[in-house]
Structure 1
Amino acid sequence: MMKNNKLTTTTLRVLTASCLLALANVSHAEIALGGNNGWEFSSDGSINGFLVNESSDSVPDNTVGGNISGEDSTRVRTGLLPAVLGFNIRSPMIDGIRGNARIGLYPQIQNAGTKNQFGSQIDLREAFFKVEGNFGEVLVGRALNLFQGKNLLTDMTLFGVGVQGGVNGGGTTLGRIGYGYIYANFNAQMRYTTPNMNGLQFSGSIVDPSQIKGDVAATETDMPAFEGELSYASTIGTNKIQGWVNGLWQEASFATGGDVSARGLALGGQLVMDNGLEFLVSGYTGQALGSTLMLDTDSLDSAGEERDNDGFIAQAAYTMGSTKFGLSYGESNADETDADRASGKRHISKQSSTTAGVYHDMNKWLKLVGEYTRAENEWYGDGSNQKADVISVGAFFLW
């Protein structure tokens, strides 16, 4: 569990929420080189920085969970997306198949709340190859997981700050991680994706399993995790639509005997209209998912029972010229178990946030961002709550 209801530096290091699909939307150009034999090399990436001011209530006494620091602070830091430098290799087409490989490096710009830290944090989030052909696509390596991946990628705070989380961490901010979805994260996996069938696609992956943790931990994993996603994207006239549903299942066992299972279902839909309006709704439900970091922190109570989790996002935006104005609300909920009620501690019940943001493209390589977020945590028991106001301004350099 998180000590004093704050995200530790180690926990924040897990929160680097960028990925290949996100960067495909962010990056407006590639630096590409070709060879006479048909091989291609390219690089893409981005760097961002934000000035973030947070005014926060203190953490209520005798509470467990929550991602608001309880500190008033001003930071210069990376937002929800870290910086990235991606290297891509593309093979020639041989016998109807083509290979692609990617390695992505993801640093942050800030120190972990100290003046003297020699080298900011860097994460190797992507290291995979894909084989493509008429049969579809096979991916092997470390990549963004399917379960709740699109919930993350369609969140407008992806290009901002959202909820800050721990103010002295070396990782990224939270955005809506724990406030509308749970962090999908990057894992070792083997994934198959069907060909695009008039906008309809299915992906299924075998994923390196995780220990399922909370007040106790199920550490033995004799089976992999399984994730799948069915998605659809199309146009209605000049309007764009997409929808998706994805799921997760995994079991783990206690060293002393007995097992637990984590399972989840997530879905969403988005409409982008030619008049500049954009609407999004996404949500999730399941058990032993955790409130913020999937499977790794508060998935189980002290008796080893799975906690139930659910949440959603509702988002609207309007784009006028090169400027997008967005407003969104999200919340994540965790049920209280019998063991939680008997513990004498007040456990987290709901984490919610409202974000208003302005995202302006100065040109193809420079994006300016301003956001205001009101975050709120609520606990079971006497109805204790905590609020924070987060104001951020920053910019992206993209290539």
Structure 2
Amino acid sequence: MTFNKKLLAGLVAFAAASTSAQAVTVAANDGWTLGVSGSVNQFLTFTDVDGGDNVSEVRNGLLPAFLSFDMTAPTMNGLDIAAHISISPSTNGQSYAGSLEQREAYFTVAGSFGQVLAGKAIGLYGSHNILTDQTLFGVGYGTTGNLQTTLGGINLGYDYANWRSQIKWTSNDMNGFKIAFAAVDPNTGTSLGGNSDQDNLRFEGDLSYAGAFDGGSYTGWLSAMHQSNEGTIEDNKAWTVGGTLVVGGFEAMAQYSDSEQGDFGTAASLNTTTGVITGPVAAVANAVSEYDQFIVQAGYRFAGTTLVSAQYSEREDDIAGGTNLEDEKWTIGVYHDVNANLKLVAEYTNVEMDNDDSETDIISLGGFVFF
């Protein structure tokens, strides 16, 4: 695999001199290609917590920045082979405090059997949910605290798909239908079950459909996951169903998620939190917590470039021990594509949380540059 060095040097010089961002694709002499692309986003956010302090930030939105490298081989013996690696810097973190994430590193092999992906990529369960959320290219909630990114609608509308080490098979298109299955490392983090080592793999599955008609299109999905947990009375399991509809300039999305997890019990002990024994702590039995979430979203895209959209999401928690919580979120946003390289965003989000009886208002102004 030998790349044309003169072509590469010329493209790099052109990109450096250009006043507009350009994706770079380099072709090798033997048919391989190398593509470089990415995005950077930045927002002004103003957070007003009822009864608390106001917070102003200059920060990332739900997404960090991305710098992506894609290698593609020429088709050989009916196989299409490719690899993808990206790094994800945050503009919000301090430069010495781990503000650089590595979210993706995988290869794919595709043929008449479908596609096999091996490596680290977005999880199968929950991926449709976050990728259809209007706040993906915005902020949503989860400002303050100097986190790497905000939360968008994560855990207040749907479970986080996360970036997971996996081996995934996806079928070829079957008249609009696709099925996919993934064996996932259980120690890659999840809102269900934490990061502890496990004896059993996590398994995820997905059935999706995409169709089109004159003047519109639609999609639907049904996804699920299962993770056996040692030491609890219930395995972690979750499922989600949802769909999108586009008719002319009108765009809508709805989704629902249901999650259960087994909670580890604790033995009776003495309270030594402060270093002083103050009394006994009662044993807590293993139990099960359940979380239900949904989002409804609708908007209109004017002239194909400006989306004005609103969404409502809600989460109900039936937590082990008898605690029941209900949180809700509203987001109204304007997402304007100036051109293929520049997107401007304005959002307003209101969040009401049961656990601390708080209400938060968030105003966000910013945008993306894509290259």
Q: TM-score, normalised by structure 1?
A: 0.78
- Pairwise mapping of residues 193-208 of structure 1 onto structure 2 (< 5 A)? 193-208=170-185
C-alpha displacement at 1:102, in angstroms?
A: 0.5
C-alpha displacement at 1:137, in angstroms?
A: 0.2
Alignment partner, residue 5 of structure 1: none
Alignment partner, residue 274 of structure 2: none
Q: Which structure is higher in RCO with an 8 Å CA cutoff and minimum separation 6?
A: 1
Query: Partners in 2 of 1:259 and 1:220 — Cα distance?
Result: 18
Contact kept? 1:211, 1:252, Cα under 8 Å: no
Q: Percent of counterpart pairs with the same letter?
A: 34
Query: Partners in 2 of 1:356 and 1:366 — Cα distance?
Result: 20
Contact kept? 1:227, 1:246, Cα under 8 Å: yes
Name the CA shift for 1:287/1:317 in 2 (closer, same or farther; >3 Å): same
Given the alignment, which residue of 260, 276, 297 partners 1:287?
Answer: 260
Say whether residues 1:260 and 2:237 are aligned partners. no
Query: Partners in 1 of 2:132 and 2:340 — Cα distance?
Result: 20
Structure 1 residues 335-360: Cα deviation after superposition (integer angstroms, max 9, x where no partner): 033xx34xxxxx56122110000001
Name the CA shift for 1:367/1:212 in 2 (closer, same or farther; >3 Å): closer
Alignment partner, residue 38 of structure 1: 31
Name the CA shift for 1:302/1:334 in 2 (closer, same or farther; >3 Å): farther
Aligned residues: 330
Query: Partners in 2 of 1:210 and 1:308 — Cα distance?
Result: 21
Say whether residues 1:143 and 2:116 are aligned partners. no
Given the alignment, which residue of 344, 356, 359 partners 1:368?
Answer: 344
Alignment partner, residue 242 of structure 1: 219
Contact kept? 1:179, 1:330, Cα under 8 Å: yes
Query: Partners in 2 of 1:219 and 1:35 — Cα distance?
Result: 44
Given the alignment, which residue of 324, 328, 331 partners 2:307?
Answer: 324
Contact kept? 1:200, 1:231, Cα under 8 Å: yes
Query: Partners in 2 of 1:280 and 1:240 — Cα distance?
Result: 12
C-alpha displacement at 1:36, in angstroms?
A: 1.7
C-alpha displacement at 1:260, in angstroms?
A: 3.5
**Bigger radius of gyration among the two:** 2
SS of 2:319's equivalent? coil
SS of 1:221's equivalent? coil
- Pairwise mapping of residues 93-242 of structure 1 onto structure 2 (< 5 A)? 93-111=75-93, 117-118=95-96, 121-165=99-143, 167-210=144-187, 219=196, 221-242=198-219
Structure 2 unaligned blocks of 5 or more: 1-20, 264-282
Q: CA RMSD in A?
A: 2.3
Query: Partners in 1 of 2:67 and 2:134 — Cα distance?
Result: 22
Query: Partners in 1 of 2:66 and 2:24 — Cα distance?
Result: 14
Query: Partners in 1 of 2:57 and 2:354 — Cα distance?
Result: 25
SS of 1:313's equivalent? strand
Q: TM-score, normalised by structure 2?
A: 0.84
Given the alignment, which residue of 319, 343, 354 partners 1:336?
Answer: 319
Contact kept? 2:186, 2:195, Cα under 8 Å: no
Alignment partner, residue 366 of structure 2: 394
Query: Partners in 2 of 1:85 and 1:224 — Cα distance?
Result: 30
Contact kept? 2:234, 2:262, Cα under 8 Å: no
Query: Partners in 1 of 2:27 and 2:189 — Cα distance?
Result: 45
Query: Partners in 2 of 1:313 and 1:82 — Cα distance?
Result: 23
Name the CA shift for 1:75/1:217 in 2 (closer, same or farther; >3 Å): closer
Say whether residues 1:87 and 2:69 are aligned partners. yes
Contact kept? 1:288, 1:307, Cα under 8 Å: yes
C-alpha displacement at 1:148, in angstroms?
A: 1.1
Structure 1 unaligned blocks of 5 or more: 1-27, 59-69, 291-300, 342-346
Contact kept? 1:247, 1:266, Cα under 8 Å: yes
C-alpha displacement at 1:170, in angstroms?
A: 3.6
